[in-house]
Each structure stands twice: as structure tokens, then as C-alpha cells.
Structure 1
Amino acid sequence: MAARLLLQSDWPQVLRKVEGEVWVACKIPGKPTLYGSLKCQGVGSDGLLEVTASEGFVVNEVKKKSILISCPEENVTSKFLAPYTTFSRIHEKSITCLDISSGGGLGVSTSTDGTMKIWQTTNGETRRILEGHIYDVNCCKFFPSGLVVLSGGMDSQVKIWSAEDASCPVTLKGHKGGILDVAIVERGRNVVSSSRDGTARLWDCGKSACLGVVADCGSPINGIALDVADSSVELGSPEDTPSNREIGTEGKLLLLAREDKKLQGVSLHSRQPVILFSGSDAFNCCAFLSSVHILAGAQDGNIYQLDMRNTQTPVQVTHRSGAPVLSLMPFKEGYIASQGDGSCFIIQQDLDHVIELTEPDSDPVYKVATSEKLIYTCCRDGIVRKYLLSNL
């Protein structure tokens, strides 16, 4: 665990005040935390805030929505990015999942207020309310077309919706426990779901039928990820001839983030187990970094980076806090992660600093979605935050 910089969550608002002052800290493993402050000295001729740091910290750069801070003694630097805008009226309670359409114009989100909504990403205005699940909806995802939405709920049902008129032409039944995650195969003739019942299933959307149980591991599957595996990864051959209703399953690896502390990889086409890695705690989420490198986030805050060709030893284990890792997604030459302590950050290979997406104050950030130069997050505080990367 490396040293980590922390900054008061409402820093942009406070520093804009006359002589506004916020706290900054450097958390150092095995040592006392180093505390300091940033103070606004006024506004420069360029319209940007002039900010100075107390002893032990340096303000390297200030922009309208970001600030770059370092702690030279610990050789750590972080850039803190404030939201470009926020939407607080989409839902009344915690927002548990969100996704953005391929065109970037629409968002879909689920909430503990019992609703699932489609909204405009420009202003957060609700366009459609998707009603039909019983109990909570846990996950939602746009199909590549941007016109159709896939969802899974605690009612053990997977549903497919029209984003245009909110109708639900397809309901997929077969799981015996709540749906925890979903994935779409290529353009969406087939989809995959994972459940508290310990199974992952492949579905034919056109006939509303289950094409098979891809994995049955006896432990809740909290998250899944699906992508093409490198040709050097042995995916095996099907024991039985696959249905001609299976479209685009060849060459795909399905990752399963399991409650029993295991990360599993299964060939979607052959149903053969490919990898099995044991972690330190329950896995909540997983993602592909490339066709050979994968990520998995655990309940104890560990983020594992693995090479599929040899999962005996992780390539890297990142541990920034003991809060649960709630979402992971690839981003440029790195990834975005969110955790249960309100932290959401970007790690990129070509940057010597971490980018922290600020404002949630100890409220878990449940999910992250991207659209070109925009990043969207959803949080327990019921707010969707929209970050503009050109503000960096």
C-alpha cells in the first residue's frame, strides 16, 4: 500500500470563498497521517484561484475544476477533479447502478427508491420510467444500439426494455435467486446474467430462452465481465454441439467475481473452466484490461491485476483503503475504480499521478460509466456526477 493524498470533498466551493481554507492529508502506511491545509489567496489575472499549501504539501497546478497537489517527502502526487455538473433529481434515494448509451445522449439508472429511469445526459431530465420488476433492480445496461436496455432484479428476472417507449417485450426466467449482474454478447442476440443462486446463464433474447448454464459455482456471483480472450489462452471445445441460436460466443471469456473469494474465468462457448484465482476476500467486480490482463476488486479493498496465462501470482495488487471495491472499468491505458468510502480514482500507466474524482463524502460510489471525455458516477447520496476530462 503506497502513500495516498486526501482532500476535503467540497474543496472547490470552500476555496472560492475569501480566504477559504480546506484540509489536505497524506495517509502513509505504518506511519502517522500527515495533515495540512490549502488556503485561497485570491483570484489571479487569468481568473483562476491562487492557492497555497501548508508545510509538507505543494500546490503544483490549479485549474477551474482541478487541482494538482503533491507531498514531496512521500513522493506522492494526485490530481483532484471536481464534477462538471451534478444531477440530484433523477432518483429520490441511493442510485445503485447506471450506464450511458453508445451515442452518449441517454443514461439509465436504478435506485433503492424502486425505480429504473432513462434520462438525458445533458440535463438529467427523465425520459422514461421502466416499470415491471418486483423488488429492487440491481443492474442495468444499454445494448450497443442505445435503443434497448437490459436489467436484472432481486425478483430473479432479467428483462429487456425499449428505451423509446418503455415497453418490456422480453422477460427471461430461470434463475432461483436475485440477478446481480448482466453482460451483452456482441450486438445483443445473446446476453449473460449472474445470480445469487451461484449460476451464470446464457440467454437467447429472440426466443426468451435459456441456452445453458455457463457456470454453477455454489456461491453468489456478484459481478461478471465478458470479452475476447487472446489466442494464447486455451478456451477448450464444447462437449455438445452448441445451439444455432448462440451468436458470437466463440473466443469469449466470462469472468465471474464470486462471493467465496474466487475469481473464475469460463469459456462462454465451450463452458470449460479456464482460470480460477483465490483472493483475500469476496470479489465484488471484475473487468478486462486487455485480451490477456484482467482486474478484480475485493471486499477488503484489494484490486488484483492478473495475467490470464498465469494466474498463480498477481501482476499487481493495489490497496488504497480497506473499503470495498465496488466497480472497475478499463479506461485508456489504465482503469477507473470506485470504493465504499466515497473514493473514485483513475490510474493510468502514462501518468505519474492518480486522478481522484471528488465530491462524494464517505458515501459509496457504486458504479462508473464513460462516454468519450465524460465520466459518470452514481452514489449512495442519490446524485449522478458528471466529470469532464478536458477539465484536467
Structure 2
Amino acid sequence: MPGKYQHIGNFHRDNRFLENGEKVWISFKTLNNPMIHGELRSDGVSSQGIPMVTGSESFHVQHVTKNTMTVKYKDGIGEYTRKFVAPQLEYSAIHNSRKSVTSLDVTPGGLGVSADSEGKLKVWETSNGIVRRDLQGHLGDVYTCKFFPSGVVVLSGGADMQLKVWSAETGQCAANITGHKAAILDTVIIERGRNILSSSKDGTVKLWDVGQKSCLYTYEECGGNVNCCSIGIPNKNIDLGQPETITSDREVQTEGKLLLIGTEAGSIQGYGLQTRRKVFDLPCHGAVNCCCILSENAAVCGTQDGYITVLDLRNIRVPLKELKETRSAILSFSTHNNGFFVSTGDGSCFFVNELCNTTTELTGADCDHIYKVVCDNTHVYTGCRDGQVRKYSCSQAGL
């Protein structure tokens, strides 16, 4: 039976381990069994500069490097292993440390964009955290920011009900798109970005033509606030229906795609992006904060009460797998290889592999909300309530 490790204290705070003799707590739990608590104690540093750590109870520290620690727990049922990974770098100067980093994205080309709870939107270098541009123009909080595939254009949306398109090179706003009647919570960029999608507290998802700054279609009757949206190309055997009307020639590359949305009312819904047909509407445990299409057959959603539900798009009536790694909210997903990273409201951020097992946990956030996790295939970045952007190595994590 799969088990889980709880928070592991301040492992690798400021890229160092604990002082000699200091301790952190660690807990382990399996379904329907009480939680087992233990401690990890620092016994100093070896002559090679590697921390020496020992565990209490049934916790065994298998391997330690300057940035990773692998812990095994053994009970009467089996053995369970978790790798803990410390950040390579922590960027505290991008945003004010008293403000939460609420949204985040990065490009393989070395740029990052992030927003904070003060409504500030910044473009920075992923190698060193140096801010290159302040994107000024939103009125109020910015809830979503993403790069277009070009890597030099940014899309943002927020409490002011506006979508803005920015040049990351100049910092200038190239387009301002309006039409929602409440805050914009999430966005999707379709292919190269001639069309985009936005979900809102007004209970709708809108499909936009960026060039003409016009709305091509509004997905209505979603059942309340639409917290998140995602798109993907499903298996050809999944019936998305046929378009009831001829679409505008301004609508590009929407054919054959599935639109996934998550609602505050607690449902995950699927629509044919071009056909506008509702394909499914599945009740969830609670408000759906984030969703993502993983493959042509699978999708995942996360709820406010801590459930991760993996869906089989070919048989949506029965979840493929349900995980509950935390009592706190699931806040974001980011795909990597054949699995996905998960960030939560209790400061944990972990990787779930293709077998739906949790293998790796990213440390450093303590108990602060991690609002966003993103991956550029070589590094993982997190945006946290403590104002920090943290950078982790995928190779050190063994991913």
C-alpha cells in the first residue's frame, strides 16, 4: 500500500543542512493507519563536506549529498522511499519578501515571468534572478502570467478583468483585451498564440482572437467561478462532436482539441474546443483549483480539500486514481516526462510518476503556500507565499 512522507522541517535552509546536533521532524502515514513520527538529526559534516544525518524510529537515511537526501521507512507491510531535494538557488530580490509570488512561468531560453500579491509583474533571468523588465499596467492582483511559445511575449490576466499581451524585450503592452465581467483566474495559449483562452470568476471561459482583440466564443453555464483551464489533443476514439456552425477564419488550430475546466462548485468539465460540445461533467471532492491534460488518454485535477484525481478520458465516470498526499489545497501542476509536479498549500511540492507514486519532494518552503510550480525540463521553479522563487535541478532530483 502506498505511503507518504510529511513535511521534513527546514531541510537545506539557505542551501545548507542543519547545524551539528540540530533536528527536523518527519512523519509517515499509510491509509487508515495512524501517523508515525520521527526525527532526523544532523551529526555534522564529513571531510568531503557532505552532511551526516541519522534517523530515529524506523526512518533510515540512505544517501545524502549537498542538495539531496533519500530517506527510507520500513514497517511490517513494506519499505517506502522518498528523495528530498533542496533548491539550487533562491531568488528573494525579484519580489518583496513580504508579498506572495502568485503566478510564474519560465522559458527554455532563460527568461522567467512572475507576479506577486501586490500586483507587480516582472520579467527576469532564470540563471541569476536579475529583473530585466517591470510590466506595469494591471490594476490590482495578477493571477496568471505565461509566455507565448516564442519565449519573448507574455500573456497576463487578473483582478482588473483585463488580459494583457506584453513584449518581454521592451516591457511594452502590445494588446489589452477586455470582455470578462469578473477577475481572470487562468489562461491557455493555443499553439503559436493567434488564439487564447481565459477562465474567470464570471463563470465563463472565453476564446479570443489576439490580433483583433475580439471574443470568438464564450463557454457559458459552467456552474460558477471557473478556476482553471487546460487543453490537449485526446485519443481519436473520444467523441468531441461536430461543430454546429461554421467557425470564423480567425479561429486557428482548435480542431480536435479538448478543453478541460475546473470550477469552484466542484466539477471538472470537458468540452470540444472547436465543437463547443460538453463531453463530460464529473463531480469532484471540492472546489477544483487546477487541472491539466497529461496525455491523449489522461488528465488530472486538484481540489481545495487536497485530493488529486487522475482521469481516464476514455471512461470519465470512474477516476483512474485518487491521491491524497496532504490535508491542504492542491494549487498547481506542471508536467515533466511521464509524470507531473504538484504544489500545495502546506508548503509541500512533490513529483508523481506514471504509476501515480510520489517519488521526490522539493524542500525549502517550510509551511508556506506554493502557489505555482513550473518546469522547463532541466529545472523546476516554484513561487511561494514567502516571496521567494526557488530553482531546483531535475538531474539532482533524478527526474
Secondary structure of the residue aligned to 2:342 is strand
Of 189, 204, 208 in structure 2, the residue corresponding to residue 184 of structure 1 is 189
Of 32, 38, 55 in structure 2, the residue corresponding to residue 36 of structure 1 is 38
Q: How does 1:328-339 map onto structure 2 within 5 Å?
A: 328-339=333-344
Partner of 2:161: 156
Deviation at 1:215, TM superposition (A): 3.9
The one-letter code matched in structure 2 to 1:139 is: T
Partner of 1:91: 95
Q: Tell me if the contact between 1:86 and 1:384 (Cα under 8 Å) persists in the aligned partners.
A: yes
Counterpart CA distance in 2 for 1:217 and 1:361 is: 36
Q: Tell me if the contact between 2:107 and 2:147 (Cα under 8 Å) persists in the aligned partners.
A: yes
- Which structure 2 residue ranges, 5 or more long, are not aligned? none
Deviation at 1:308, TM superposition (A): 1.0
Deviation at 1:87, TM superposition (A): 0.4
Q: How does 1:23-172 map onto structure 2 within 5 Å?
A: 23-73=25-75, 75-92=79-96, 93-103=99-109, 105-172=110-177
Question: Residue by residue, what CA displacement relative to the aligned partner does 1:14-37 show, whole Å, maximum 9, x if unpaired?
Answer: 745223332222234444322222
The one-letter code matched in structure 1 to 2:4 is: R
Deviation at 1:118, TM superposition (A): 0.5
The one-letter code matched in structure 2 to 1:110 is: A
Counterpart CA distance in 2 for 1:225 and 1:345 is: 21
The one-letter code matched in structure 2 to 1:320 is: E
Partner of 1:193: 198
Partner of 1:324: 329
Q: Tell me if the contact between 2:197 and 2:208 (Cα under 8 Å) persists in the aligned partners.
A: yes
Q: Tell me if the contact between 1:77 and 1:352 (Cα under 8 Å) persists in the aligned partners.
A: no
The one-letter code matched in structure 2 to 1:47 is: G
Counterpart CA distance in 1 for 2:220 and 2:246 is: 17
Is 1:206 the counterpart of 2:211? The answer is yes
Deviation at 1:162, TM superposition (A): 0.8
Q: Tell me if the contact between 1:2 and 1:320 (Cα under 8 Å) persists in the aligned partners.
A: no
Counterpart CA distance in 2 for 1:308 and 1:255 is: 11
Is 1:299 the counterpart of 2:304? The answer is yes
Secondary structure of the residue aligned to 1:37 is strand
The one-letter code matched in structure 2 to 1:84 is: Q
Q: 1:222 to 1:310 in 2, by over 3 A?
A: same
The one-letter code matched in structure 1 to 2:61 is: V
Partner of 2:295: 290
Is 1:365 the counterpart of 2:370? The answer is yes
Question: Residue by residue, what CA displacement relative to the aligned partner does 1:301-352 show, whole Å, maximum 9, x if unpaired?
Answer: 1111111111111000001122111001222111111111111100113796
Counterpart CA distance in 1 for 2:223 and 2:40 is: 51
Deviation at 1:362, TM superposition (A): 1.3
Of 296, 299, 314 in structure 2, the residue corresponding to residue 309 of structure 1 is 314
Question: Residue by residue, what CA displacement relative to the aligned partner does 1:137-167 show, whole Å, maximum 9, x if unpaired?
Answer: 1100000001100011111111111111111
Partner of 2:241: 236
Identity over aligned residues, as a percent? 42
Counterpart CA distance in 1 for 2:186 and 2:226 is: 8
Q: Tell me if the contact between 1:77 and 1:353 (Cα under 8 Å) persists in the aligned partners.
A: no
Partner of 2:281: 276
Question: Residue by residue, what CA displacement relative to the aligned partner does 1:55-108 show, whole Å, maximum 9, x if unpaired?
Answer: 3111111122111101101632211111011001111110100000242x1110
Secondary structure of the residue aligned to 1:222 is strand
Counterpart CA distance in 2 for 1:22 and 1:343 is: 15
Q: Tell me if the contact between 2:12 and 2:363 (Cα under 8 Å) persists in the aligned partners.
A: no
Counterpart CA distance in 2 for 1:230 and 1:121 is: 35
Counterpart CA distance in 1 for 2:221 and 2:172 is: 32
Q: Tell me if the contact between 1:38 and 1:54 (Cα under 8 Å) persists in the aligned partners.
A: yes
Secondary structure of the residue aligned to 1:390 is coil
Secondary structure of the residue aligned to 2:241 is coil
Q: Tell me whether 37-46 or 145-154 shows the greater mean CA deviation.
A: 37-46
Counterpart CA distance in 2 for 1:177 and 1:7 is: 36
Deviation at 1:39, TM superposition (A): 2.3
The one-letter code matched in structure 1 to 2:37 is: Y
Q: Tell me whether 316-325 or 33-42 shows the greater mean CA deviation.
A: 33-42
Question: Residue by residue, what CA displacement relative to the aligned partner does 1:195-221 show, whole Å, maximum 9, x if unpaired?
Answer: 101111111111111111134314110
Q: Tell me whether 376-385 or 165-174 shows the greater mean CA deviation.
A: 165-174
Secondary structure of the residue aligned to 1:391 is coil
Of 223, 230, 245 in structure 2, the residue corresponding to residue 225 of structure 1 is 230
Q: Tell me whether 171-180 or 348-357 shows the greater mean CA deviation.
A: 348-357
* TM-score, reference length from structure 2: 0.94
